[in-house]
């Protein structure tokens, strides 16, 4: 075996004729990076490669590095707001709007009428006000930022009353008590895990109290012996004591979920109509837009919050704003047809079954067997926990001796673009509900490739 001394230097390798061809097509920095990585690996393991094998390894590393890390996948899991897969897919119009703004200069903070400076968060404000009935509206980076900003700007150094049953963790380390601490507001917990009464809130009010915070139970359910205080009642208490009522609504829906056969998810309009002074919600959950956080409510409060220095740290990007405005425009003009999340929620049982059967037929034509089975889709993304939507899925039984359903699932993931399914009773289920129009061919190709 060759010794480490036989290992060429990065410099020597970059001067070799094999390298110049690579540099010509991939650029010197990338080739240097790949060469360094391969040499380091050889040094670390002590396994010195033959030159030919080494050049192949370098080529492989280059290919790996050039493959986009952030790339499309086909979501066949049936989880509509799949956080790991990017939550809400944008409407075509929203994606086009973002792309149109991305590579150009824009009116982001500029009013062409007057030639003066504008405010970026005003761009979507009219639409948001109109759709929600809010007096004031602003956009920030996400709902977590909106909550942090609202608490910091309105309650820092003061007390905020919150029910123990609402001290939730949203995921990714976003825990209400931590956010509260970060904002500098002092959290005053009332009630118990399962029950909180109006008197609990009233009894906790002191001269230092700034606000009552209500946090929507987005991603969990408490069942059994439970009690919580309705927003309307909290609004009355807040008014009586001249406190602010802040609402972390989470999944800001503009549309009635009940009309889709789902449990009721409070809409932004409902929260405002019930008397919340300021509402924070996500734009990429049930709104079906880009990642953003919305702040809606009394104009003076929105203004005060957006003037806080922290607002700059959580400001929204131009591509996001373009996509958000285009999404809101769909609510105005075709409420909410064309918003993928709502198309998925509203997809008819027949259309879903027809797609699953279509996949089955095309697979059969190519000699692959699959079944069409009844299954359940979920909303996901911290919205409507426990809600299940009846669906029809394609069920693929793994080949005998082929590593089982987990291996089949893995092979589907290896496809380009990756197809993401789930395992139910040792079979791989692919749910048409979350597979976008135009992705049917990919499903069929990926299954054929995975079964060989």
Ligand X SMILES: *Cc1c(COP(=O)(O)O)cnc(C)c1O
Binding residues vs ligand X (CB under 6 A): 142-144, 147, 170, 174, 215-216, 218, 248, 250-251, 282, 293, 382
In this structure, what token pair is assigned to residue 266? Answer: 């409070």
Nearer to ligand X, 14 or 147 (CB): 147
- Nearer to ligand X by Cβ, of 143 and 347: the residue is 143
Quote the least distance from Cβ 82 to ligand X, whole Å.
13
Give me the least distance between CB of 162 and ligand X, in Å please. 12
Measured from the CB atom, is 144 or 451 closer to ligand X? 144
**Between 83 and 192, CB nearer to ligand X:** 83
- Measured from the CB atom, the residue of 182 and 202 that comes closer to ligand X is 182
Pairwise CA distance, residues 34 & 63, whole Å: 10
Residue 351, SS3 per DSSP: helix
Two tokens, residue 119: 């405010």
Q: Would you say 174 or 260 has its CB closer to ligand X?
A: 174
How crowded is the C-beta side of 381, counted as CA atoms within 13 Å? 30
Between CA 398 and CA 406 the distance in angstroms is 9
* Three-class secondary structure of residue 91 per DSSP: coil
Half-sphere exposure of 106 (CA within 13 A, CB side): 17
Cβ closest to ligand X, residue 253 vs residue 435? 253
Q: Write out the H or E segment, with its range, that includes residue 159.
A: strand 159-163
CB of 194 to ligand X, least distance (A): 18
Report the nearest approach of ligand X to the CB of residue 87 (Å): 8
Q: Where are the alpha helices (DSSP H) in 192-317?
A: 198-204, 231-240, 268-273, 299-307, 310-313
For 379-432, the DSSP string reads EETTSSTT-EEEEEEEEEPPPTTTTHHHHHHHHHHHSSS-EE-EEETTEEEE-G
Least distance in angstroms from the C-beta of 154 to ligand X: 16
Kindly state the smallest distance separating residue 178's Cβ from ligand X, in Å: 12
Closest residue to bound ligand X by CB? 250
Nearest CA to 231 out of 254, 208, 248, 250 is that of 248
Q: Bridge-partner residues for 74, per DSSP?
A: 419
Tell me the closest approach of the beta carbon of residue 145 to ligand X, in angstroms.
7
DSSP notation for 185-213: PEEEEES-SSB--HHHHHHH--TTEEEEE
């Amino acid at each position: 075996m060759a010794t480490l001394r036989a290992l060429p230097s990065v410099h020597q390798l970059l001067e070799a004729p094999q390298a110049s061809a690579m540099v010509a097509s991939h650029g010197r920095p990338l080739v240097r990076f790949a060469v360094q990585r391969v040499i380091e690996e050889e040094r670390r393991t002590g396994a010195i490669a033959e030159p030919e094998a080494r050049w192949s390894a370098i080529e492989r590393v280059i290919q790996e590095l050039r493959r986009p890390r952030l790339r499309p996948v086909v979501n066949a899991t049936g989880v509509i707001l799949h956080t790991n897969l990017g939550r809400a897919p944008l409407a075509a119009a929203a994606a086009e709007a973002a792309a149109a703004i991305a590579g150009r200069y824009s009116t982001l903070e500029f009013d062409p009428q007057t030639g003066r400076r504008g405010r970026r968060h005003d761009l979507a404000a009219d639409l948001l006000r109109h759709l929600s009935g809010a007096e004031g509206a602003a956009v920030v980076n996400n709902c977590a930022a909106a909550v942090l900003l609202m608490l910091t700007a309105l309650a820092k150094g003061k007390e905020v009353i919150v029910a123990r049953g609402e001290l939730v963790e949203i995921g990714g380390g976003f825990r209400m008590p931590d956010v509260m601490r970060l904002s500098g507001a002092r959290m005053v917990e009332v009630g118990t895990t399962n029950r909180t009464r109006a008197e609990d809130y009233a009894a906790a009010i002191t001269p230092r109290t700034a606000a009552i915070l209500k946090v929507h139970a987005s991603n969990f359910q408490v069942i059994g012996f439970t009690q919580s205080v309705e927003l309307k009642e909290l609004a009355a208490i807040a008014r009586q004591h001249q406190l602010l009522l802040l609402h972390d609504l989470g999944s800001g829906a503009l549309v009635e979920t009940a009309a889709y056969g789902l449990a009721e998810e409070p809409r932004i309009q409902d929260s405002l109509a019930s008397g919340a002074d300021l509402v924070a919600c996500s734009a990429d959950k049930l709104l079906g837009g880009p990642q953003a956080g919305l702040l809606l409510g009394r104009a003076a409060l929105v203004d005060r919050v957006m003037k806080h220095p922290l607002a700059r740290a959580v400001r929204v990007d131009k591509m996001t704003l373009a996509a958000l405005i285009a999404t809101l425009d769909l609510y105005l003009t075709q409420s909410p047809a064309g918003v993928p999340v709502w198309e998925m929620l509203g997809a008819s049982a027949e259309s879903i079954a027809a797609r699953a059967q279509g996949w089955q037929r095309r697979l059969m034509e190519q000699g692959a067997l699959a079944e069409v089975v009844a299954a359940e889709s979920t909303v996901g993304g911290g919205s409507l926990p426990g809600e299940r939507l009846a669906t029809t899925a394609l069920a693929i039984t793994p080949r005998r001796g082929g590593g089982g359903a987990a291996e089949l699932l893995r092979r589907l993931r290896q496809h380009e673009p990756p197809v993401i399914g789930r395992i139910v009773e040792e079979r791989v289920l692919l749910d048409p509900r979350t597979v976008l129009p135009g992705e049917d061919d990919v499903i069929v190709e990926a299954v054929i490739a995975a079964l060989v």
